[in-house]
């Protein structure tokens, strides 16, 4: 197979991995593995916002092909990471022709999510569980579930409309804070603190932080820094949104 | 026991949000619940938030590395959802509350506690994945010979 085609497969797998929230070393590893499965030497350099690969055939080292792929949007989809992992390991055992591989990759790319209602109710149950876990009552939990389903709905809509994730997080935690404080004002016996903490639990950037650490561990200092900074900005935007809501209510009351 | 179930739900449902495969959902939930149990028992024993979180992070990442080996999936699938219960959400929230009330000393205290817990989680993961990476490379080396 031609070098160009192999690199196409490799870079598409890398792109899917990176946009699904994979660690850097896994992306580089996968690219290397796919290239070596087709007997091609390659060097790859991956950052959270782009993939750089150049490869050359073992019998013709004078002719190398390079690709750069810019990655713009990143979501979390651990299922895709798993599927690409199996795909690349299968390639190592038995290579397949270009068209077939591309077809598989494209089907992975559009692989079904859990349905929207399922994810919405999952968000609700998450917040319910955390509110009760953090010393809220059953009723607090129900309210937090309602709030988090509402902000999850807004967050998904804003993601589709291509707002920046920092602004989305800011607005969502602001709304959560507003609703919780207002509910606490009108219904006397709620514990506002548990409700707010529970309902913004679904916004916490857990993946960015842990990936930042894993990247640092594997020596990808550049990506580790950018991920940790990303997480810090998200945390700050959540905090500011919540703080603003609380402050407004304090002034208003 | 009630907390165990809640922590289970608290890892199971984020796992749905992260779209992991159905058969792995329950294991991610279990992993999170065990991590929470570890955190609670260490906390009751030493009264130290940060130490409890540290041990819990170690337990969770060790469990998820083992599960990853057993089920042949990346370990990310298990430990991202199961770290959810021990994320220092409460102390972060209290920090913001104190800042609004202009109680800077308390805010600094809580903020440091938050940073400490986050660092403890980070270091716990780092420790375990280093050990497992060492074991993995040892395995590969011995197979190659």
pLDDT, tens only, A185-198? 787 777 788 888 88
Residue in B69, B100, B89 with CA at minimum distance from that of residue B14: B89
Predicted confidence at residue B143, as pLDDT, reads 58
Cα–Cα distance for residue pair B75/B69, rounded to 1 Å? 8
CA distances from A16 to A72, A108, B30 (A): 12, 8, 28
Asked if the Cβ–Cβ distance from A206 to B87 is below 8 Å, we say: yes
Q: What pLDDT shows up at residue B55? A: 92
Chain A residues with beta carbon closer than 8 angstroms to that of B20 = 78-79, 82
Tell me if A86 sits within 8 A of A111, measured CB to CB.
Answer: no
- B17 contact A CB<8A: yes
Task: Number of A to B CB contacts under 8 A, please give it.
Answer: 126
Residue in A129, A207, A247 nearest the CB of B80: A207
Q: How confident is the model at residue B145 (pLDDT cuts 50, 70, 90)?
A: very low
- How far from B123 is each of A218, B55, B56, B57, CA to CA, in Å? 14, 10, 11, 8
* Pairwise pLDDT comparison (A176 vs B17), residue with the higher score: A176
* Token pair recorded at residue A41: 């030497």
Q: Under a CB-based contact definition with an 8 Å cutoff, are residues B83 and B57 in contact?
A: yes
| End-to-end C-alpha distance for chain A, whole angstroms | 71
Global pTM value: 0.82
A209 neighbors B119 (Cβ within 8 angstroms): no
Domain that holds residue B119: 2-144
Assigned token pair, A192: 């506002």
- Show the tokens assigned to B45: 């024993």
Give the residue from A38, A75, A44, A86 showing the smallest Cα distance to A156. Answer: A75
Residue that is written with structure tokens 């949007």 in the block: A73
Residues of A in contact with B79 (CB under 8 A): 210
Q: Would an 8 Å CB–CB cutoff place B134 in contact with chain A?
A: no
* Residue A203: partners with Cβ closer than 8 Å, 6 or more residues away: A151, A155, A169, A172, A173, A234, A238
At A2-56, the pLDDT tens digits run 888 888 889 999 999 998 888 888 899 899 988 888 888 889 999 888 899 998 8
CA atoms within 13 A on the CB side of A57: 9
pLDDT at B111 over 60: yes
Is residue A181 within 8 A of residue A214, CB to CB? The reply is no
* pLDDT attached to residue A52: 93
End-to-end CA distance of chain B: 49
DSSP tag of B85: G
State whether residue A70 is helix, strand or coil: strand
For residue A187, what is the DSSP state? S
Give how many domains chain B has, as a whole number: 1
Q: Note the ipTM here.
A: 0.81
Distance (Å, rounded) from C-alpha B77 to C-alpha B79? 6
């Amino acid at each position: 197979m031609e070098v160009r085609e192999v690199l196409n497969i490799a870079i598409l797998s890398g792109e899917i991995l990176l946009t699904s929230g994979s660690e850097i070393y896994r992306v580089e590893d996968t690219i290397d593995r796919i290239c070596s499965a087709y007997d091609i030497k390659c060097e790859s350099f991956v950052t959270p916002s782009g993939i750089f690969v150049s490869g050359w055939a073992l019998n013709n080292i004078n002719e190398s092909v390079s690709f750069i792929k810019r990655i713009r949007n990143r979501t979390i989809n651990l299922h895709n990471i798993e599927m690409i992992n199996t795909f690349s390991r299968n390639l190592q055992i038995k290579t397949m022709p270009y068209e077939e591989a591309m077809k598989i990759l494209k089907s992975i790319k559009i692989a079904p999510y859990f349905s929207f209602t399922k994810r919405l109710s999952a968000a609700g149950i998450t917040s319910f569980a955390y509110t009760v876990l953090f010393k809220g009552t059953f009723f607090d939990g129900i309210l937090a579930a309602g709030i988090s389903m509402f902000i999850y709905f807004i967050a998904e809509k804003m993601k589709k409309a291509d707002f920046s994730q920092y602004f989305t997080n800011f607005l969502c935690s602001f709304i959560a804070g507003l609703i919780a404080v207002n509910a606490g004002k009108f219904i006397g016996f709620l514990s506002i603190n548990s409700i707010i903490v529970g309902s913004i639990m679904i916004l916490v950037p857990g993946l960015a932080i842990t990936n930042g650490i894993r990247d640092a561990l594997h020596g990808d200092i550049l990506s580790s820094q950018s991920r940790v900074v990303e997480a810090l900005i998200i945390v700050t935007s959540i905090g500011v949104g919540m703080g603003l809501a609380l402050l407004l209510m304090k002034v208003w009351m | 026991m009630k907390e165990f179930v809640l922590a289970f739900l608290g890892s199971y449902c984020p796992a749905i949000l992260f779209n992991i495969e159905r058969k792995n959902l329950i294991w991610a939930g279990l992993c999170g619940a065990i991590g929470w149990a570890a955190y609670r028992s260490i906390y009751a024993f030493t009264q130290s938030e940060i130490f409890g979180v540290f041990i819990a992070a170690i337990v969770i990442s060790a469990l998820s590395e083992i599960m990853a080996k057993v089920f042949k999936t990346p370990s990310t699938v298990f430990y991202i959802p199961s770290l959810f219960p021990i994320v220092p959400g409460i102390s972060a929230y209290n920090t913001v509350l104190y800042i609004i009330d202009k109680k800077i000393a308390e805010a600094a205290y809580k903020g440091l506690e938050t940073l400490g817990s986050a660092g403890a989680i980070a270091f716990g993961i780092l420790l375990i994945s280093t050990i497992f990476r060492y074991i993995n490379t040892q395995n590969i080396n011995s197979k190659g010979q």
